[in-house]
Amino acid sequence: MEYVYAALMLHKLKKEITEENVTSIVKASGAELNEAKVKSLVASLADVDIEEAIKAAPIAAAAPAAAPAAEGGEGKKAEKKDEAADGKKEEAAMEGLSSLFG
């Protein structure tokens, strides 16, 4: 996990995600270094648009929905809309799975 965190940190700082950079962050954190994992991570991320991956992550989608809840009355309305949208998405996903298994 520390390798992924190192890659995310480098991305946030707009630094290139290289074996050297990931290695230096992992070493600086005090974690035990596994060079094979570093090489694997860097190779895996070579063709990945990290910004798009972050936007597609379920946690990123849930964070904005949580913000209106703190505002009081309006938050409850937003939560109901979000729950309905989530239900429709889940239903569509289940339909897709059922079509795989006939």
Structural contact between residues 77 and 87, judged by C-beta atoms closer than 8 angstroms:
no
Query: Do 7 and 45 share a structural domain?
Result: yes
Query: Do 92 and 63 share a structural domain?
Result: yes
Q: For 16-57, how does the pLDDT look when each residue is reduced to its tens digit (9 = 90+)?
A: 999 999 999 999 999 999 999 999 999 999 999 999 888 888
Q: For 71-84, how does the pLDDT look when each residue is reduced to its tens digit (9 = 90+)?
A: 555 555 555 556 65
Q: What is the CA radius of gyration of the chain?
A: 19
3-state helix, strand, coil in the chain (%, to 5): 80, 0, 20
Query: Do 69 and 39 share a structural domain?
Result: no
The total number of structural domains in the chain stands at 2
Query: Do 73 and 40 share a structural domain?
Result: no
Query: Do 11 and 47 share a structural domain?
Result: yes
Q: What is the pTM of this model?
A: 0.55
What is the span of the domain harbouring residue 64? 58-101
Number of helices (H), then strands (E), belonging to the chain: the values are 6, 0
